[in-house]
Amino acid sequence: MCKKTRMIFPQLVKSFLSNYCILKVKPTLSLFLLRYLRKFRVMNLGGTLILHSHLPPLNSKAYTRFVKEHLLGKTEGPSHAQIGLTNACPQNCRYCYNKNRKGTPMDTETIIRLIRDLKEMGMIWLGFTGGEPLLNKEIVRITESAGTTVALKLFTTGCTLTRELAKDLQRAGLQYVSISLDHWEERKHDEARGYSGAFRTALKAIELFKETTDLHVSVSSVISWEMIHSGQVEEFLQFLIRLNVQEAWLSEVKPAVPVYWDPKTLFTEADRRYLCGLQDRYNKDHKITVNYLGHFEGRENFGCNAGHKMVYIDAFGEVSPCVFTPMTFGNVQETPVKELFHRMKQQFPSEESCFIHRNYPLFQKYMHGGAIVTEEDSYALMREVRFGPFSQFSKLYYG
Ligand code: SF4
C-alpha cells in the first residue's frame, strides 16, 4: 500500500462508518458506485475526502444526505442544481449558453429562498454560475446561506477576484472553485472568450485561490472539436498539470447556441470514448484528476439527468433542465421552484445520453430570434422528443 493510500484509508473507513446507512443500499447499486469511485483517486484536502468536484466530499454531510435522501429515500427532487448569480460578464464566449437569456434579475432574497427550497427538495450539490458570479456583490452572503449540508462549487473566469474575496468565500462555506481555461495558448483562449486578458486573469485567479485558500481548485475547459481531432487534448492536460491544479473538469462544446448547431462540430460517440479513455489513463497517474462530464453523464455511468436530477435556474429565475438547454418551464419569481421542477420532471424521465446533443434540431425549430424556448413552446417541443433507454445507474436505481 503506498503512503498516500495509507493516509487516506483510515479517513475512508471513518467516512464509511459515518455513512453506515450505505449498507442498506441495494447491492447492485453499491457495486456500481464502488466501480465508479475506483476510477478516481480520493484526495485528502485537510481532512476532506474528495473524489471530484461534481460530487460532495465523501465524508461530508452533503454526501450523507446523498445516500439517505437519494440512494435510499429516492426523493423526487434534484440532487444537482446550478444558479446564475448574474448575467453580467465582461467576457464574450463564442459558446456562452446565457447570452440570449433576458428578464428581471433575481434579487438576493429570492436567491437565498431558492437555495433553501432546493435543499428541502434534496439538492446536495450546487454550482454558482453566471455570467460572472463574482460580479454579484452579495455572493458571500449567498454562499453563507447555503449552510454545510450542500457541496458548493463556483464557476468563474476569475474577473474581479481579490485575496479578500477568495478568503471570504472559503469562510462562507465554498468548497470547490473552477476557473475557465480553454487553451494553453494565451491568444487562443482570449479569442474563444472574446476578451483580451482572459488568459492572464484565469492564471492569476488560480494562483490567488491556491495561495490564499485551501479550496479544491480545478480548471473547467470546453474542449473543441478541433482540439480533439488535432490530438491536442493531452498537450492541454500536461499544461494543467504544470499549473498544479487539482482537477481538469472537461466538457465538450454543446449545441446549446446557434453557432454550434453544425453537426460537423459535434462530438461523436468515438470522441466521447476517447476522452473517457484519456480520463482513466490520467487518473491512474495521480498527477491531476481528470473529470470529463461525458464520462459522468455517459450511458455506462449516470446518464443525462437534465430536468430529472439536475436543474438550472438562470439569473432571471427561469427554470431549465440544465445549463445547456435553452428552454424554460417557468420563473421562480412567479411560481415556487418545487412546483416548476415537478412539472418539468414529468417531461424528463432521464436517459442514457445527452438530451441537447440528441434534440438540438428541435431547438432550431422552437427558438425564435435566438431567444430561449418559451414556457408554452417548451411543452410543445417535449411532445416531439423520444427518449432513449436508461443509463446503467438509472437501470439499477429504478429497477
Ligand atoms: S442535456 Fe447534456 S449537458 Fe445537459 S445534463 Fe444532459 S448530458 Fe448534461
Torsion 352-227-52-322 (CA) sign: negative
Which atom of ligand 1 is nearest to 293's Cα?
8
- Please work out whether the CB of residue 327 comes within 6 Å of at least one atom of ligand 1: no
pLDDT recorded at residue 17: 65
| 125-129: strand order across its sheet | 289-292, 247-252, 216-223, 176-180, 151-156, 125-129, 80-84, 310-313, 319-320
Whether the CB of 354 sits within 6 Å of ligand 1: yes
Cα 15 from chain centroid (whole Å) = 24
Kindly report the protein residue whose alpha carbon is nearest to atom 3 of ligand 1. Answer: 324
Judge if the beta carbon of residue 325 lies within 6 A of ligand 1. yes
> How many angstroms does the Cα of residue 47 sit away from the middle of ligand 1?
32
All residue ranges of the chain with pLDDT < 50 are: 1-6
Whole-number Å distance, alpha carbon 360 to ligand 1 midpoint, is 12
Determine the residue of 322, 344, 378, 387 to mutate for testing ligand 1's pocket, defined as the one with the most ligand atoms within 8 A of the Cβ atom: 322
Please tell me the chain's helix, strand, coil percentages from 3-state DSSP, rounded to the nearest 5.
45, 15, 40
Instruction: Looking at the CA of residue 355, tell me the nearest atom of ligand 1.
Output: 1
CA of 306 to the centre of ligand 1 (A): 5
CA of 305 to the centre of ligand 1 (A): 7
pLDDT on residue 23 = 82
- In sequence order, the β-bridge partners of residue 44 are 49
- Please identify, by atom number, the ligand 1 atom nearest to the C-alpha of residue 357: 2
What is the CA(321)–ligand 1 centre distance, in A?
A: 8
Dihedral (CA of 6, 288, 170, 121) sign: negative
Hunting for cell 437555495 — which residue is that? 115
Burial (CB < 10 A; 0-12, 13-18, 19+), residue 391, is buried
- Closest ligand 1 atom to residue 251 Cα is 3
E-assigned strand segments in the chain: 43-45, 48-50, 80-84, 125-129, 151-156, 176-180, 216-223, 247-252, 289-292, 310-313, 319-320
Ligand 1 atom closest to residue 254's alpha carbon, by position in its atom list:
3
CA of 314 to the centre of ligand 1 (A): 16
Q: Cα of 46 to ligand 1 centre, how many Å?
A: 32
Residue ID of nearest Cα to ligand 1 atom 2: 354
Q: Output the CA 268–ligand 1 centroid distance in Å.
A: 15
Give the model's pLDDT for residue 160: 96
Cell of 103: 428578464
